[in-house]
Amino acid sequence: MAKNRLVAPVVKWVGGKRQILYQIKKYVPQTFSTYYEPFLGGGAVLFELQPQKAVVNDINSELINIYEVIKDSVEELIEDLKQYKNEEDAFYKKRELDRDKERYNRLTPVEKASRIIFLNKTCYNGLFRVNKAGEFNTPYGNYKNPNIVNEITLRAVSKYFNKAQITFTCQDFELVLKKARKGAFIYLDPPYDPVSDTASFTGYDKGGFDRNEQIRLKKTCDKLDEKGIKFLLSNSATDFIKDLYSDYKIEIVQAKRAINSRADKRGEIDEVLVMNFE
């Protein structure tokens, strides 16, 4: 299937892979049957590769709803997005909707998707973060001219979703990967192991992702390896992660860290690419 250069991420996402795509692509197998991505996030790798057949998943139901709406109702989504203005009052009014569950549940899938895209494009640092109750809690970003309605990208992504065989799921990563068979290729981009006690960010979903989850993910990778299924995993280059995956091939790459409360701490950091193949 010919690649469309207009297909690109439609939301900002913590840990997005745009900046190291060229590094990741070096290790993607030339051929595979089905592409699996159980931690989809902003989807930079999916949109770069544009596989013909894919199973993509995220535990964040708001995010998966966005992608399903883009596939099925992109023109309605675009029209709904046009109502939004980049104003602080409008931002907080929409942000508060998920505090009133009865009112929030009356929103259509299109309305839920447009709300999240608006909040994502106008909130501070494009940071999708929820509290323990699952409520969006990132503050207003005060940007001059955010691109809230990116019609060209939305339509291009919708066209790709409808041309390819894409399955969207919203469940635990282990459940998704149980269905993978030899010949598939798995790209894993979990919430990263924090590089310091103050650097942890797992707030994209109320469940969080601690070191017990990292260990469970490693055991899942071992099961994939036993089946002869190729996987490639991104994570921070902490001693914990390097020790955890020491029996696999590890490449160190550099990526820019954009989210930190201190500007002098934003810069290039080491990350790992872990794989079970040469």
Instruction: Give the pLDDT of residue 129.
Output: 82
Question: Bridge-partner residues for 232, per DSSP?
Answer: 187, 275
Q: Are 269 and 169 in a shared domain?
A: yes
- The structural domain count of the chain equals 2
Same domain as 84, residue 139: yes
* Residue at which a domain ends, from 109, 131, 151: 151
* Domain shared by 214 and 176, yes or no: yes
Determine, yes or no, domain membership for 1: no
Can you give the CATH number for the domain in which 105 is found? Answer: 1.10.1020.10
Task: Give the pLDDT mean for 7-12.
Answer: 94
Residue 120 domain-assigned (yes or no): yes
Residues 119 and 190 in one domain: no
Checking if the pLDDT of 176 tops 70, the result is: yes
115: tokens are 């709300």
Is there a domain that residue 46 lies in? yes
- Is 10 a domain residue? no
Same domain as 102, residue 193: no
- Over residues 26-40, the pLDDT tens digits come to 999 999 999 999 999
Least confident piece of the model among 128-132, 219-223, 263-267: 263-267
Instruction: Name the β-bridge partners of 167.
Output: 55
How confident is the model over 128-137, as a mean pLDDT?
A: 84
In a domain, 200, yes or no: yes
Mean pLDDT of the chain: 91
Residue 201 CA, distance from chain mean position: 13
What pLDDT is recorded for position 204?
52
Please say if the pLDDT value at position 66 is more than 80.
Answer: yes
Quote the domain boundaries for residue 127: 66-151
Rounded Cα distance, 115 and 110, in Å: 9
In this structure, the answer to whether residues 261 and 169 fall within a common structural domain is yes
Which residues, including other chains, have CB under 8 Å from residue 231's CB and lie 6 or more apart? 185, 186, 187, 188, 221, 224, 225, 275, 276
One domain for residues 53 and 168: yes
- Among 69-73, 150-154, 190-194, 237-241, whose mean pLDDT is lowest? 190-194
In a domain, 25, yes or no: yes
Cβ-contact 29, 275 below 8 angstroms: no
Of the pLDDT bands very low, low, confident and very high (cuts 50, 70, 90), residue 262 is very low
- Domain presence at residue 13: no
pTM of the model: 0.91
Percent of the chain with pLDDT over 90: 79
Considering the chain, what percentage of its residues have pLDDT values greater than 70? 92
Categorize the per-residue pLDDT at 85 as very low, low, confident or very high, splitting at 50, 70 and 90: very high
In this structure, what token pair is assigned to residue 179? 């269905």
Mark whether 205 and 248 lie in a shared domain: yes
Q: Both 82 and 127 in a single domain?
A: yes
Least confident range from 128-132, 134-138, 195-199: namely 195-199
Question: Are residues 195 and 232 both part of a single domain?
Answer: yes
In the predicted model, is pLDDT for residue 267 greater than 90? no
- The pLDDT, as a whole number, for residue 12 is 87
Q: Do 179 and 220 fall into the same domain?
A: yes
> Domain boundary residue among 97, 129, 151?
151
Q: Is residue 265 part of a domain?
A: yes
Residue 268 confidence class, pLDDT cut points 50, 70, 90:
confident
What's 227's domain CATH number? Answer: 3.40.50.150
| 167 and 125 belong to one structural domain | no
